[in-house]
């Protein structure tokens, strides 16, 4: 895995980057100490906090060139999240499933970056299901499809990313806007292109209605389109590489870095012929 790059778009440049990283790692280490004290309730929120800490420490040690330590950190993050999801799954409802998307997605990326691709695929499968309100994957439809329609595009893009990582580009159901002016999505059989159009439509409605839509989500769509075109034998790697660079330039601060950069690393590891050839 390539050593961590300082994002060119980072506000304040390398000097500010180094200062921000040091501050964040100090906070994460303090949080880790608090969260692992004896007697702390074993809640979903505590698990999310632990996973975030271990995941962040993995990025830090990767940046320092300490690959074995980084892999150990990411392994810990993936293991904690996987155990929480498996433990809570029997009681999970369609309405609550989207609350587990962040945990499953982060764990999937952690598993991938630590070299545990089979576990990563399991966790991407959970992410894909939870992001559309499905729990077991055997349901015909979520209890309330409209309730999981996210007008920031985040949930739909989490699902799309997971499906691409699982190699599933068609043969599933999803919420689709039947035309460009529609305000209501319907649950129908579709493919990855239908979901990408849904993500674009959700973001357009969200921006129109004053919702906060991140540039990273808008820049992720052309990247995923370019990658899908290659997987379908219709696109050029150069286009995907350009889209990846544009996506990486969405990183402006530390929050953006921890959300975006792991995706960059994961794509480079999962599709080396496209992004690192």
**H helices present in 42-131, as ranges:** 44-63, 67-88, 101-113, 117-130
Instruction: Please give the average per-residue pLDDT across 157-172, as a whole number.
Output: 96
pLDDT above 70 coverage of the chain, percent: 98
Of the listed ranges 2-11, 68-77, 164-173, 218-227, the one predicted with least confidence: 2-11
Would you state the pLDDT for residue 106?
Answer: 95
pLDDT over 60 (residue 3) = no
pLDDT above 90 coverage of the chain, percent: 63
For 25, half-sphere exposure in the C-beta direction (CA atoms, 13 angstrom radius) is 15
Instruction: Please give the average per-residue pLDDT across 53-66, as a whole number.
Output: 91
pLDDT over 80 (residue 5) = no
Would you state the pLDDT for residue 57?
Answer: 93
Residue 40: which pLDDT band, with cuts at 50, 70 and 90? confident
CA distances from residue 163 to 1, 6, 211, 244 in whole angstroms, order as listed:
23, 29, 26, 18
Q: For 203-234, write each residue's pLDDT tens digit.
A: 999 999 998 888 888 999 999 999 999 999 99
Q: For 183-193, write each residue's pLDDT tens digit.
A: 888 999 999 99
Would you state the pLDDT for residue 140?
Answer: 83
Mean pLDDT of the chain: 90
Residue 253: which pLDDT band, with cuts at 50, 70 and 90? confident
Instruction: Please give the average per-residue pLDDT across 248-268, as a whole number.
Output: 89
Is 30 buried (19+), middle (13-18) or exposed (0-12) by CB count in 10 A?
exposed
Would you state the pLDDT for residue 74?
Answer: 97
Distance CA 120, CA 50 (A): 18
pLDDT over 80 (residue 170) = yes
Residue 21: which pLDDT band, with cuts at 50, 70 and 90? confident
Residue 1: which pLDDT band, with cuts at 50, 70 and 90? low
pLDDT over 80 (residue 147) = no
The answer to whether residues 63 and 3 touch, using CB atoms and an 8 Å cutoff, is: yes
Instruction: Please give the average per-residue pLDDT across 229-250, as a whole number.
Output: 92
Would you state the pLDDT for residue 2?
Answer: 56
């Amino acid at each position: 895995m390539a050593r961590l790059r300082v994002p060119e778009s980072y506000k304040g440049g390398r000097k500010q980057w180094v200062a921000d990283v040091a501050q964040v790692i100090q906070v994460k280490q303090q949080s880790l100490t608090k969260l692992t004290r004896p007697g702390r309730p074993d809640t979903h929120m505590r698990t999310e906090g632990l996973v975030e800490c271990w995941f962040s420490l993995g990025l830090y040690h990767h940046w320092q060139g300490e690959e074995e330590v980084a892999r150990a950190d990411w392994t810990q993050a993936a293991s904690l999240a996987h155990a929480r999801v498996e433990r809570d799954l029997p009681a999970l409802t369609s309405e609550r499933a989207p609350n587990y998307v962040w945990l499953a997605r982060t764990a999937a990326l952690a598993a991938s970056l630590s070299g545990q691709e089979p576990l990563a695929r399991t966790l991407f499968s959970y992410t894909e299901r939870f992001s559309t309100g499905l729990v077991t994957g055997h349901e015909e439809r979520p209890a309330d499809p409209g309730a999981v329609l996210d007008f920031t595009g985040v949930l739909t893009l989490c699902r799309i990313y997971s499906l691409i990582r699982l190699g599933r580009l068609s043969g599933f159901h999803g919420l689709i806007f039947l035309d460009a002016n529609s305000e209501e999505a319907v649950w129908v059989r579709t493919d990855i292109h239908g979901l990408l159009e849904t993500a674009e439509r959700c973001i357009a409605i969200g921006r129109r209605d004053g919702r906060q839509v991140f540039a990273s989500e808008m820049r992720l769509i052309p990247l995923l389109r370019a990658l899908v075109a290659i997987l379908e034998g219709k696109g050029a790697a150069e286009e995907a590489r350009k889209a990846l660079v544009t996506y990486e330039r969405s990183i402006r601060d530390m929050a953006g870095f921890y959300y975006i950069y792991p995706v960059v690393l994961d794509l480079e590891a999962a599709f080396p012929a496209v992004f690192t050839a």
